[in-house]
């Protein structure tokens, strides 16, 4: 499937590349939450992590770790948000697996935690039973 990111990989759309290897590329997001916002993108256009081999996911995270270090060193980021919008209901706009690495600075005023809910009586325990990995 063709996506904006496959077009970037095939040089049909320009991008600023920070890294590339056989499994992924890392580029600057064109509309950054903060300047220096990076996308680590799987070369294969897996729509979500459900479609992606675990070895590839592990490799993407190894690149995320390197990007995190660069953002801290070169931009003096105090922290990063590392985000996968994993499907359209989660706000994914480009259906091609990518990991956002967003530099954060103390008091930068950006918010990432959505409003939270509360569990009813016994609901937390029931949810735990339902979701436990076998
Ligand atoms: P998501 O909502 O998780 O699918 O994020 C898609 C991201 O891709 C957004 O943050 C966009 O700003 C970014 N994006 C879309 N087109 C481009 C492009 N041509 N170059 C760089 N980033 C892009």
Neighbours of 3 (CB within 10 A): 16
Ligand 1 centroid to 21 CA: how many Å?
20
Q: Is the minimum distance from the CB of 91 to ligand 1 under 6 angstroms? A: yes
What's the predicted TM-score (pTM) here?
0.97
Is 47:89 a contact under the CB 8 Å cutoff? no
Nearest CA owner, ligand 1 atom 18? 30
DSSP helix/strand/coil, 125:
helix
C-alpha count within 13 angstroms, C-beta hemisphere, residue 52: 26
pLDDT, position 1: 83
C-alpha count within 13 angstroms, C-beta hemisphere, residue 39: 23
Mean pLDDT computed over 92-99? 98
pLDDT, position 112: 83
- Kindly name the residue from 37, 76, 96, 98 that is annotated as catalytic: 98
DSSP helix/strand/coil, 79:
strand
CATH code of the domain covering residue 81: 3.30.428.10
Domain housing 59 = 4-131
Q: Is the minimum distance from the CB of 93 to ligand 1 under 6 angstroms? A: yes
- Report whether pLDDT(114) > 90: no
Is 43:9 a contact under the CB 8 Å cutoff? yes
pLDDT tens across 50-86, in order?
Answer: 999 999 999 999 999 999 999 999 999 999 999 999 9
Provide the b/e sequence for 44-68 (b: ≥16 CB within 10 Å).
ebbbbbeebeeebbebbeebbeebb
Atom of ligand 1 nearest to the CA of 37: 10
Is 78:104 a contact under the CB 8 Å cutoff? yes
What confidence category does residue 130 fall into, taking pLDDT thresholds of 50, 70 and 90?
A: very high
Active site residue 98: yes
Q: Is the minimum distance from the CB of 85 to ligand 1 under 6 angstroms? A: yes
pLDDT tens across 8-33, in order?
Answer: 999 999 999 999 999 999 999 999 99
Domains held by the chain: number:
1
pLDDT, position 113: 84
Ligand 1 centroid to 29 CA: how many Å?
6
Report the C-alpha gap between 29 and 121 in whole angstroms: 43
């Amino acid at each position: 499937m063709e996506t904006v990111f496959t077009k970037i990989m095939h040089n049909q759309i320009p991008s600023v590349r920070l890294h590339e290897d056989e499994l992924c590329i890392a580029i600057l997001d064109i509309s950054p939450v903060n300047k220096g916002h990076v996308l680590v993108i799987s070369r294969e256009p897996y729509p979500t992590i459900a479609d992606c081999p675990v070895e590839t996911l592990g490799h993407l995270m190894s690149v995320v770790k390197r990007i995190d270090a660069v953002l801290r060193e070169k931009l003096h980021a105090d922290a990063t948000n590392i985000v996968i919008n994993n499907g359209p209901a989660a706000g994914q706009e480009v259906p091609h697996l990518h990991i956002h690495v967003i530099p954060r600075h103390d008091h930068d005023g950006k918010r990432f935690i959505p409003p939270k809910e509360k569990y009813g009586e016994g609901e937390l325990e029931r949810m735990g039973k339902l979701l436990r990995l076998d």
